[in-house]
Amino acid sequence: MNTARESSGASLSIAGLLEFEEIKAAEPAVLAGEAVLDRAIRWVHIADSEHVERFLEGGELVLTTATTFRHRPEAMSEFLDQLERAAAAGAIIELVDEDSAFDDAAGTVVQEAASARELPVVVLPHRVKFVKITEFAHRRLLAQQISRLEHAREIHETYTQLSLDRAEAQTIVDRTAELLGTAVVLEDVSHRVLAHSGRGSQALAQKQKWVDLVSGASTTPGGHAPSQWRQTPVGLRSRRWGRLVVPGAVESVADLEQVIERAGEALTLIRMADRDEQDLLLQAQSGLIREITDSEGIDERSARERARSLGFTPAEGAELTPVVVRIDREADTDPTRVQLQERGLTQEIASAASRLNLCLLMTSLQSGVFGFVLGPGRGRSRRSQPSPRGTEEADERLTRLLAELEGLASSWVVGVGRGSTTLLRAVAGLEAASHVAEVASTLDVRERAFYRSSDVRIRGLLSLLAEDSRLRAFAEGELGPLLGESTRNDRRGDGVLPSAADAADDGLLDFLELYLSHGGNKSAMARAGHLSRPALYSRINRLQDRLGVSLDDAESRTALHVALLWWRMYG
């Protein structure tokens, strides 16, 4: 199949319809829109009234005798206005009286109404059987649709077979160039040409020339800038690894978008298939970590041997770091999308670790959350005992690994547990790392590439005790005077406090947060709260009166701060 050849000229245009013998015999006169007579016709509609807009969806050629409104200038103008608003392709108006003679008066009305319009308006001074026009047009349009369906089927079959055959990227690019009859280039995210094919592609793919084209420093021989190129991304949405580009305009190819999209999908699927072996390895590693976690019968020596058979070969005596990655997600995020993102991310991390001579043992914990034990590959420096410097080196390793994936830094949060020179303890540390990642995901601002328990501090403790009824009672007792009466009394029957948004705190709860976040520094509070000094002191006194405690007392401030943090997180 040659899509370029078969699709060329397939669309029915107004200009093409005017060449139809039935219309040519009526001596059509173009009153307006002559410059856009090549506009494609989607369908043909016959109208007998000026009120036609509600029947149109865009792209229709409207045929009418205008018998009921041809002598009313305002009605004829409204008729053409409606066609323009509905994005109709154009209008053909037959202006013949009862004696089959041209209606001169109506012709003048149409001429004035059509003046200066872009909409194609054609007048027929002789009688024509509209049924002949509609029959011809609809036959052509249906044939065109059938042809496009055939093209779509052949395109689908072509790329399905290429995917099943696990064809190489060059083969897919070759076939795409053949279908389009033009040059096609596959590049990576750094604009390095991975494959190219088609007439002129060899010259385009020269390294410096391609970079100049992509940067806009030069244009293709046809004068088309990169912004005009047709292209499709290649790779999963969470991690694009390239682009398939048609460097030039191929306006005559009706199926261009479908061809390059299917080609991009085939390239993505084949690369994913190539990673199936890696997926199986990750599944086996996950099984080992679950066995270590759930069983007390496996010792360090056995665990090391099993891990070594799965590619985990850290330098002897090196500190091993438990790491958990939590992918950000909204409540309504599509679970399939999360799984695809997790799959792509685990593969990218494994690839980056290999490049950096690091080794890891990975496991999936739950949807959107996975963990791994990270260590240096063999050949790195060895340490027989853990030390502060060993932890620093572990942090450096993790920092370098995450730097390889900095394009995804905003879409995840990373928690780190306590490192160990033993595999069993490092695996056990994944639980703490998971807890840290969960707490860190609640932070309003994330300033670190990864978090340890010392970074989440009291938030981490509150997270561990979130469901403890005693902590709920403590928070309610401390903040009760600032909450509405209904908030203090209403347990909703299930022991859950209403949200902070429901609290009738007349602003004092927020003011308490302002006070605590600035450590009671009145100058800083006045600036942050845009308050005058008298207003500030007045609100402090009112807050202390309401709470019944002195904010100068360190223990009171601590208790209130803990209660407020819990309320903001879980209230």
pLDDT at residue 246, rounded to an integer: 86
> Average of pLDDT values for 204-224?
64
Angle between helices 276-294 and 423-440 (to 10 degrees): 100
Name which residue leads in pLDDT, 282 or 81.
81
DSSP code per residue over 28-44: -EEEE-GGGTTPBP-EE
Judged by average pLDDT, the poorest of 19-23, 65-69, 383-387, 392-396 is 383-387
| Cβ proximity of 350 and 396 under 8 Å | no
* Sheet with 369-376, side-by-side order of all strands: 358-366, 369-376, 321-327, 412-416
How many angstroms separate the CA atoms of 462 and 27, rounded? 86
- Asked if pLDDT for residue 112 goes beyond 60, the answer is yes
pLDDT at residue 385, rounded to an integer: 44
- Asked if pLDDT for residue 76 goes beyond 90, the answer is yes
Q: Which helix (H) or strand (E) holds 246?
A: strand 239-246
Closest CA to 369 of 423, 312, 300, 438: 438
Handedness of CA 346, 349, 354, 358 (dihedral sign): negative
> Average of pLDDT values for 107-128?
91
- Asked if pLDDT for residue 461 goes beyond 70, the answer is no
The model's pLDDT over 395-414, given as tens digits with 9 standing for 90+, comes to: 899 999 988 887 665 588 89
Closest CA to 322 of 435, 426, 398: 426
> What are the structural domains of the chain?
3-142 (3.40.1390.20), 165-274 (3.30.450.40), 276-456 (3.30.70), 465-570 (1.10.10.2840)
> Average of pLDDT values for 51-71?
90
Q: How confident is the model at residue 178 (pLDDT cuts 50, 70, 90)?
A: confident
pLDDT at residue 476, rounded to an integer: 77
Which two three-digit tokens encode residue 77?
């103008």
How many angstroms separate the CA atoms of 540 and 369, rounded? 44
Main-chain dihedrals φ then ψ at residue 389, nearest 5 degrees:
-65, -35
How many angstroms separate the CA atoms of 53 and 81, rounded? 9
Count how many Cα atoms sit within 13 Å of the Cα of residue 399 in the half-sphere of its side chain: 7
Q: How confident is the model at residue 113 (pLDDT cuts 50, 70, 90)?
A: very high
* Sheet with 230-236, side-by-side order of all strands: 193-197, 184-188, 239-246, 230-236
The model's pLDDT over 281-322, given as tens digits with 9 standing for 90+, comes to: 788 888 899 889 887 778 899 899 988 888 899 988 889 999
pLDDT at residue 489, rounded to an integer: 45
- Asked if pLDDT for residue 488 goes beyond 60, the answer is no
Angle between helices 335-355 and 276-294 (to 10 degrees): 90
Residue type present at position 477: G
- Asked if pLDDT for residue 536 goes beyond 80, the answer is yes
- The fraction of the chain above a pLDDT of 90, given in percent, is 16
| Cβ proximity of 563 and 478 under 8 Å | yes
| Cβ proximity of 235 and 268 under 8 Å | yes
In this prediction the pTM is: 0.43
Q: How confident is the model at residue 221 (pLDDT cuts 50, 70, 90)?
A: low
pLDDT at residue 1, rounded to an integer: 43
| Cβ proximity of 561 and 516 under 8 Å | yes
pLDDT at residue 92, rounded to an integer: 92
Main-chain dihedrals φ then ψ at residue 400, nearest 5 degrees:
-65, -40
pLDDT at residue 378, rounded to an integer: 78
Mean pLDDT score of the chain: 79
Q: Show the 3-state SS of 168-194.
A: CHHHHHHHHHHHHCCCEEEEECCCCEE
> Average of pLDDT values for 441-448?
74
Name which residue leads in pLDDT, 457 or 159.
159
Q: How confident is the model at residue 239 (pLDDT cuts 50, 70, 90)?
A: low
Residues 6+ apart with CB under 8 A from 483: 476, 503, 504, 505, 509
Out of 115-124, 164-173, 454-463, 544-553, the most confident range is 115-124
In the block, tokens 């099984």 appear at 287
DSSP code per residue over 258-296: HHHHHHHHHHHHHHHHHTHHHHHHHHHHHHHHHHHHH-S
Which two three-digit tokens encode residue 39?
């506009």
| Cβ proximity of 372 and 301 under 8 Å | no
